[in-house]
Structure 1
Amino acid sequence: MKSSLNIVTIILCVWLSWGRTDGAQKRESGEVSFHRIQASSLFPSPSSSCVLSPRASNTKSSLHVVHRHGPCSSLSSKKADHDEILRLDQARVKSIHSKLSKKLTARDRVSQSQSTDLPARDGITFGYGNYVVTVGIGTPKHDLSLFFDTGSDITWTQCQPCAGKCYSQKEPIFNPSSSSSYSNVSCSSPVCDSLTSQGLVKQCSASNCIYLAGYGDKSFTQGFMAKEKFTLNSDVFDSLNFGCGQNNQGLFTGIAGLLGLGRGSFSFPSQTAKTYNNIFSYCLPSSPQYTGHLTFGSAGLSNSLLKYTPVSTVKDSSSLYGLDIVGISVDDKELKIPLTVFSTPGAIIDSGTVITRLPPKAYAALRTAFKEKMSNYTAAAGLPPLDTCYDFTGVESIDVPKVSFSFKGGTVVELEPIGVLFVADRSQVCLAFIANDKDDDVAILGNVQQKTLQVVYDGPGGRVGFAPNGCN
């Protein structure tokens, strides 16, 4: 009888072991497929002080990356408007898709930007412009706050005198007449002749070269193509080409201009290649209470956790950085998405886009898997165009499903929890992905998903790298 009871006990134990969930077994073994975070970490106090990135503080070729709104920024005390962020982000994405689907000339883009009747349909919209760096320009050095953008090539800043109109900016507008190192570019120079190949409009005023850059939201900048000294901490670069904008209009308010980090010859990495070898990296901070870094050159790239994927060619754009996405996983389980869903439209990585855009079928698969894993939490109303949101009022800890992207070459990048969620407030935290309108719209890896990652752009190697904990 005792023997029979022992056999029953053994069978029951085996059955219970088989009946346990994979998650429970993984938790006991220390292998979990989700991130358990304190809900309070998603909602930092608005009165928090600024915490500086040690990487930017200790590397001479590094600049502090500051979120436009928050204690680290001197530019604005205004609280971020999430509806406005998403609206402008949607405008930027639409302009990228339009630029890649309709090959208009640069002059078409500018004429549309300056038109009061026709909507602009091409030229990359400036968007929200979350992240800012400070760069020294001129002699003596004039420190200016610039948005940095991997989707643009030309670096430009507002200049005095404002021949047309200048928008309001926090710092004094750069005055080229007070700089001993400033010079205009001649209209007959090869630099001026190459404007059109860089997606800009070339004009001439007397013997001086005039540029026009139009953006998809009717924003534009126009002024002298010029050469000037640029200073990054102790690194000094003479005679870099930049736009000295004397007629500027659009969504740039508060910021002096733009630092172009695209792939074209006018971009800052291309022009400083003799020093930095056309290599740069950045880390976007987890919240506005922290700074990240923008680092030029190979400093800090010995990280053994860095994984690279080749840069792919983007049709009709020499500026954008293409990537080949081959899969997405949720909780370490690869979603069933045909490879052609990604390969047909292609993908880019963009520092100026906020929310990642995915092909409709890929987004549907991701949303379904995410909602299944989040079924224990209270659903909330959507925050258009975000449609999968949760109310974490009263919740102390959150189990955020792991989301990973697989890229060509076997590189797998696991996103941080803050790279999966878009936080409006405690009652509205959303899945930070959006479906494209059409199957053939290019996918875009946005800056929310890049938070806290070290993202490396290796020009000579033709590759982009990723590593965790990049801001430390």
Structure 2
Amino acid sequence: MAAKNLSQLLTYHVVSLSSLMPASVCSTPAQGSKSLSGLLEVTHKYGPCSPLKQGNAKIPSLRQILIDDQTRVNSIHSKFSNQQSPVAGSKLKLPANSGISLGTGEFIVRIGFGTPKKDFTVVFDTGSDLTWIQCLPCTIQCFLQQDPYFNPSASSTYSNIQCGSAACSQVKSATGYSPSCTTDCIYQAAYNDGSTTEGYFSTDTLTLSSSAIFPNFKFGCGENNQAPLLLGSADGLLGLGRDPISIVSQTAQKYGKLFSYCLPSTTSSTGFLTFGSQAGASSSSLQYTPLLINSDRPDYYYITMTGISVEGQLLSIPESVFRTSGTIIDSGTVISRLAPTAYSALRLAFRLAMSKYPATASPYSLYDTCYDFSGYTSVQLPSIVLHLGGGTDLNVDESGILYHATSSVYCLAFSANDADTDLGILGNNQQKRFEVVYNVAGGKLGFGAGACS
């Protein structure tokens, strides 16, 4: 295995349990957010840092979040059910906040549309390509959102895309649905939790900052939308996938298909989303792993996992287990999914390392390794290191090892797939506090630790 000397890896974390719990007030903004212009702040959708008014948002329970997370994973797996072959091998910073992820619900940012500019809160997702917001006149239905609906007639730069145009033909690859046509291009998109959006595929000016303005940005202007669980009271979706209509591709001339984000450790802290450069981590601290492409599903971001270490000890998992499943990184999946063979080895090592703590008698939803820390203020957690292609070691932040389930119950924040052939997913819980740098054109993915709070 191409991992670093395991004796050099951290073997444990001493963690204050209060640090894993959200606070009632927003903490210090993301590191670096004051030094770069054009920062998009990332917040947790339901936390005190969120720009959304919580009275308008139906806050799901953890069980519901995990149910939705599994639905998302099932949807991703269904796209790969017959595809098990291995995969082939200027600056703007935006603050990122956690909101409800696509199908589960995690992270949101504020962006502007139209002339004059109107600001909207959108969920961002690396597993989606189409950017869309709700638009008047909402001919059939729109769900409630905090901001006023976008009014195309009030924007001097808005235009519907015409049927038969090259732009209209791009919709199917991004959504899976062929556009319907009379004169204007009508898009449709459906998501794994039953949410749907339909409306005009359009262009208008997209504003990310005062120095980052993109005329003729292609997006969905939805007039028939049903996505209350997917978005809550957010206004739409920002697609960070690889497709030609994603924001990554549409801003490539300025940013060269380079973006990064840092996801905050709790709902009461903030992160960022940035285009064109890394922002919170120093270049010297970044570790890169190859960013791969699967020609059958080129819209996802693939990486190679080679092994897992617990407490500095490499687990006995054949690399073929990881090659068989393949792995993607996904901002919208909450809990990382591992091949059952790999997860069983991780679970066994974790339980042995945690044997002095009281385990719960029954699992909690997707979690089968949980502990009751009643009476504890801090615990000693074994380190978990995910070994990736290129010799990169992702030493999971302490905030991504346990998930706070109930007042005193905390669970190992990983889960097993149904079969070793199911696609592995590096979820957002294990990405917390890392600046994750997507150098799409350069074919590499970077990780820089401690980039946000």
Q: TM-score, normalised by structure 2?
A: 0.89
Which residue of 2 is the match for residue 276 of structure 1?
Answer: 255
For the pair 1:290 / 2:269, whether they are aligned, the reply is yes
Tell me what 2:18 maps to: 40
Question: Alignment partner of 1:456: what SS?
Answer: strand
Q: Which has the higher contact order (CA 8 A, sep 6+)?
A: 2
The code of the aligned residue for 1:362 comes to A
Is it true that 1:143 corresponds to 2:124 in the alignment?
Answer: no
The alpha carbon displacement at 1:36 in A equals 0.7
Cα displacement (A) at 1:162: 0.9
- Asked if residue 215 in structure 1 is aligned to residue 191 in structure 2, the reply is yes
- The amino acid that maps onto 1:325 is M
Q: Secondary structure at the match of 1:202?
A: coil
Q: Does 1:55 align with 2:35?
A: no
Q: Any residues of structure 2 matched to 1:8-407 within 5 Å, and which?
A: 33-45=11-23, 47-77=24-54, 81-101=61-81, 126-234=102-210, 235-250=212-227, 251=229, 252-300=231-279, 302-314=282-294, 316-380=296-360, 381-407=362-388
- Ranges of 4+ aligned residues in structure 1 off by more than 6 Å: none
Partner of 2:409: 428
Letter in 2 for 1:275: K
Q: Deviations over 1:99-150 (max 9, x none)?
A: 22158xxxxxxxxxxxxxxxxxxxxx93122100000111111110000000
Contact kept in structure 2, 1:211 and 1:222, CA below 8 Å: yes
1:119 maps to which residue? none
Q: Secondary structure of the residue that 1:90 maps to in structure 2?
A: helix
d(CA) in 1 for partners of 2:26, 2:169: 48
Structure number, greater radius of gyration: 1
Identity %: 46
Deviates more, 1:53-62 or 1:429-438: 53-62
**C-alpha separation in 2, matches of 1:382 and 1:459:** 39
CA 1:88/1:132 → structure 2, altered by over 3 Å: closer, same or farther? same
Distance in 1, Cα, partners of 2:82 & 2:33: 40
Q: Is the 8 A contact 1:61 1:297 kept in 2?
A: no
Aligned partners of 2:258 and 2:276 also within 8 Å: yes
Question: Offset of 1:317 from its aligned partner?
Answer: 1.5
SS of the residue corresponding to residue 304 of structure 1 reads helix
Assess if the C-alpha contact under 8 Å between 1:358 and 1:444 holds in 2.
yes
SS in 2 for 1:313: coil
What amino acid is aligned across from residue 59 of structure 1 in structure 2?
L
Distance 1:406 1:74, change over 3 A: same
* Unpaired runs of at least 5, structure 1: 1-25, 104-124
- The alpha carbon displacement at 1:396 in A equals 2.1
Q: Supply the distance in 2 between the matched residues of 1:179 and 1:50 (Cα, whole angstroms).
A: 36
Q: Distance in 2 between matches of 1:159 and 1:420?
A: 40
Count of matched residue positions in the alignment of Structure 1 and Structure 2: 422
Q: Normalising by the residue count of structure 1, what TM-score does the alignment of the two structures yield?
A: 0.86
8 Å Cα contact 1:59/1:299 also seen in 2? no
Q: 2: distance between equivalents of 1:309 and 1:433? A: 21
Moved more, 204-213 or 390-399: 204-213
Instruction: Give the secondary structure class of the aligned counterpart of 1:72.
Output: coil
Could you tell me how far 1:80 is from its partner in structure 2?
Answer: 5.2
Distance 1:355 1:232, change over 3 A: same
1:25-62 per-residue CA deviation (whole Å, 9 max, x = no partner) reads x9xxx9861001222222243x2234321423432232
Contact 1:378 1:392 in 2 (8 A): yes
In 1, distance between residues paired with 2:74 and 2:253? 36
